[in-house]
Amino acid sequence: MFSSLFSTRGGSYSFVIFFLTTLGLLISALPVIVVTLMSFSAAETAAFPPAEYSFRWYEALWAQLSSDESSSAHSLGDAMFTSVLVAALVMLIATFVCVPLAYALVRGGGRVRAGMELLFTLPLVFPLVILGIAFLLIAESLALDLGIWRLVIPHVALVLPFVLRNCMSAMNGIDIEIEEAAISLGASWPRAFLDVVVPLMKPGILAGLIFALIISFNEFTITFFMYTIDVSTLPIWMYSRTVSSLDPAVLSLSVGIILVDVVMILIIDKIIAGRASLF
Amino acid sequence: MSTDLKIEGVSKNFGSVSALRDIDMNVEKGSFVCLLGPSGCGKTTLLRIIAGFEHATSGRLLLDGVDVSNVPPHKRGFGMVFQSLALFPHMSVAQNIAYGLKLRGIDKASQRDRVEELLNVIELPTIADRPVAALSGGQRQRVAIARALAVQPKLFLLDEPLSALDAKLRENMQIELRQLQRKFGVTTVLVTHDQTEAMMLADQLVIMDHGVVRQSGMPSQVYREPADAFVADFLGTANVVKGEVSESGAVTFLGILAQDKALPVGGAGIEVAIRAENIAVVECENPERSILGTVEFVRDLGPNVESIIAVGEEKLRVRSRAREVVSLSAGQQVGLKIDPDLCSFFSR
């Protein structure tokens, strides 16, 4: 497949293209391959490459999940539940903020838009450690029991630029005349927004959703500052299991997470492609 | 279903910029009005004010005598075709056409009947379930028109709807559009910068420039009796040259003497508009009532030959029928005959 692809394109540079593509694939796939192989190790400790293969670490992970006492401080089940809940909340809040915001910024235009875009992009360029400290200081100064929101709020700030950017690029492609056409046919503005703008923004919204979900689910740096004994996420749990000695069950867990991520991306991609095929 | 529209003293300012100044206009029931003008003349702004997407700074819109200036656009019950056509890309052709009906709470069966009826009218009965993206330019055009007409609009508004089509298709669509409008008897306002399109479609032509109406009337009348030099120049190809009025009232331009022109006397300078097709090119030996010129540029367009001929300081654009003209070439000396009765005279 590759040879036919590269023999027809790029001419005499096809070798360079082939080399760079292979390198890129290798770099991005290598960690996944290593982790997956090691998770099937039969050895007592994690080493690469494993001498023998088995499912023992998957069994260990399952045992940990099913026999988990909810009273234990660093419960895997609790961490998983918190992670999913935080990610879902972050995803919903970010979307509900970003869809109207993207509309307002694109339709508003001009100087306001440039300024606001910059403002919402700030968390991207801010060093995450400092961002974590900043949120921690804010949370402490509030002296409130924020519960799960002490993670949700910083996560929303972190994913906002990604969701906003996706929504805005989708919004950019929607001609104002389409909206006006709906209005001229008798739709009130909210109706036109729901009937025409939101469906046309759908690919951008879905892409934003998946970004929010994955970024929040995998977030470590800020969460490391913000987590408490009651509110902790999966990455924190995994870190606690690897910081002194590497528990191979963590590798099995991450293989599971990768699988879920891939399935999710495939589903979203299918939805977006199904939508795009209309054009 | 049809209504008449009256525009009274409508002005529009964008900040300190005045886009429309004191527009008065009457659109008769069932008539086809074209707003024509160069880009930036305010014609689209006026259409958007009629549609309700812009709010006039002052003035009123009367629909059958009822002031609708403050009615929001979605409650005006007008049908509009946009420059980009603005079909909903996520809906099928039938869904596009039925959208306005759906909003009016019309039941599904009646919606389907109406969609079918309109698809027959636009002679595309088989495309109902197709996605909009699968349509050709001309088909999209027709669907956009059908969508706007489906709601039986009180007023049919079109914003340069044919500008994206190629010349041949555009001409066909103009004919179709005119036939559809007659068939539905709907009062129509169309914005265009294409004078041929306006001439061919309009019952009433409204020439706009810099936010004011320069002239309004039947196309042929506006063409033959332009109100000022701008209209003469904008509609068709006209040469606007300077002329003089003597104390006795005699007019001279390009060395031609014209008597008995009802003009403001007083020795003031005037402007004379001569249509390109009203200049006859003759052999230069014929001195009677002809003036001498030098051919600068010739192009043969098939049925017509267009040329630029220098007469003194002035460069005249001349359009002659190919069969009737002597063969022209650049640098050649020719005689020109201009009938003052076919010229328009304006005080400067």
The Cα A35–Cα A265 span in angstroms is 20
The Cα B310–Cα B315 span in angstroms is 4
Q: What is the full DSSP assignment across B209-257?
A: ETTEEEEEE-HHHHHHS-SSHHHHHHSS-EEEEEEEE-TTS-EEETTEE
Question: Is residue A207 in some structural domain?
Answer: yes
User: At CB < 8 A and 24+ separation, what contacts does B167-171 make?
Assistant: B169/B137, B169/B138, B170/B197
In which domain, by residue range, is A102 found? 57-271
Q: Are A205 and A166 in contact (CB under 8 A)?
A: yes
User: Which residues, 6+ apart, have CB-to-CB distance to B38 below 8 Å?
Assistant: B193, B209, B234
Structure token digits, residue A137: 């200081």
Q: What is the mean pLDDT of residues B333-337?
A: 86
Q: What is the CA radius of gyration of chain B?
A: 24
The Cα A130–Cα A213 span in angstroms is 23
Mean pLDDT for chain B overall:
87
Query: How large a percentage of chain B has pLDDT more than 70?
Result: 95
Secondary element (H or E) of residue A173: none
**CB-based contact A195 B82, cutoff 8 Å:** no
Question: Is residue A265 in some structural domain?
Answer: yes
Question: Is residue A29 in some structural domain?
Answer: no
Give the total number of structural domains in chain A: 1
The Cα A268–Cα B106 span in angstroms is 35
Give the strand order in the sheet containing B32-36. B79-81, B156-159, B188-192, B32-36, B204-209, B212-217
Q: Tell me whether residue B37 is exposed, middle or buried, using C-beta atoms within 10 angstroms of its C-beta: 0 to 12, 13 to 18, 19 or more.
A: buried
**CB-based contact A186 B151, cutoff 8 Å:** yes
Structure token digits, residue B307: 């040329």
Q: What is the DSSP secondary structure assignment for residue A193, as one 8-state letter?
A: I
Q: Are A18 and A2 in contact (CB under 8 A)?
A: yes
Q: Give the residue, A66 or B147, on which the prediction is more confident.
A: B147
Q: Are B273 and B226 in contact (CB under 8 A)?
A: yes
Q: What is the mean pLDDT of residues B260-268?
A: 59
Q: Among B49, B92, B99, B149, which would you mutate to test the A interface (most chain A Cβ atoms within 10 Å of its Cβ)? A: B99
Q: Give the residue, B182 or B313, on which the prediction is more confident.
A: B182
Q: How far is B140 from chain A (nearest CA, A)?
A: 14
Q: Are B261 and B345 in contact (CB under 8 A)?
A: yes
Strand partners, B81: B158
Secondary element (H or E) of residue B14: strand B5-14
Structure token digits, residue A50: 């494993």
Q: How far is A10 from chain B (nearest CA, A)?
A: 32
The angle at the Cα of A95, spanning A131 to A171, to the nearest 5 degrees, equals 110
Helix A248-276 to helix A14-39 angle (10° resolution) is 130
The Cα A106–Cα A97 span in angstroms is 14
The pTM of this model reads 0.79
Q: Are B12 and B45 in contact (CB under 8 A)?
A: yes
Question: Is residue A46 in some structural domain?
Answer: no
Secondary element (H or E) of residue B298: strand B290-300
Residue B183 has pLDDT above 60, yes or no: yes
CATH number of B237-347: 2.40.50.140
- What's the pLDDT tens digit per position in A81-102? 899 999 999 999 999 999 999 9
Q: Would you say the C-alpha torsion A241, A151, A89, A217 has a positive or negative sign?
A: negative
- CATH number of the domain within which A62 lies: 1.10.3720.10
How many interface pairs between A and B have CB atoms less than 8 angstroms apart?
Answer: 75
- In chain B, CATH 3.40.50.300 sits at 5-224
The Cα A214–Cα B154 span in angstroms is 52
- What's the pLDDT tens digit per position in B92-120? 999 999 999 999 999 999 999 999 999 99
Per-residue pLDDT of chain A (279 residues; tens, 9 = 90+): 445 544 555 567 888 888 999 999 999 889 888 888 888 888 777 777 777 788 888 888 887 777 655 545 457 888 888 999 999 999 999 999 999 999 998 888 777 888 887 888 787 788 889 989 999 999 889 877 788 898 999 999 999 988 998 898 889 889 999 999 999 999 999 999 999 999 999 888 888 888 888 889 989 999 999 988 888 888 988 888 888 777 788 888 888 888 888 887 787 677 666 554 332
Helix, strand or coil for residue B20? strand
Nearest to B86 among A180, A187, A188 (CB): A180
**CB-based contact B51 A184, cutoff 8 Å:** yes
Structure token digits, residue B315: 């460069």
**CB-based contact A185 B147, cutoff 8 Å:** yes
Q: What is the mean pLDDT of residues B20-37?
A: 92
Cis? peptide before A49, omega within 30° of 0: yes
Residue B332 has pLDDT above 50, yes or no: yes
Taking CA atoms, what residue in B is nearest to A184?
Answer: B74
> What pLDDT sits at residue B241?
86
Closest CA to A274 of A183, A222, A203, A179: A203
Q: What is the mean pLDDT of residues B298-305?
A: 88
**CB-based contact B147 A279, cutoff 8 Å:** no
Q: Please state which of the ranges A4-18, A126-140, B21-35, B226-240 shows the lowest mean pLDDT.
A: A4-18
The topology (CATH level 3) of B5-224 is Rossmann fold (3.40.50)
Taking CA atoms, what residue in B is nearest to A196?
Answer: B88
Helix A198-218 to helix A149-172 angle (10° resolution) is 140
The Cα B178–Cα B200 span in angstroms is 9
- What's the pLDDT tens digit per position in A94-125? 999 999 999 998 888 777 888 887 888 787 78
- In chain B, CATH 2.40.50.140 sits at 237-347
Amino acid in the structure at residue B241: V
> What pLDDT sits at residue B1?
53
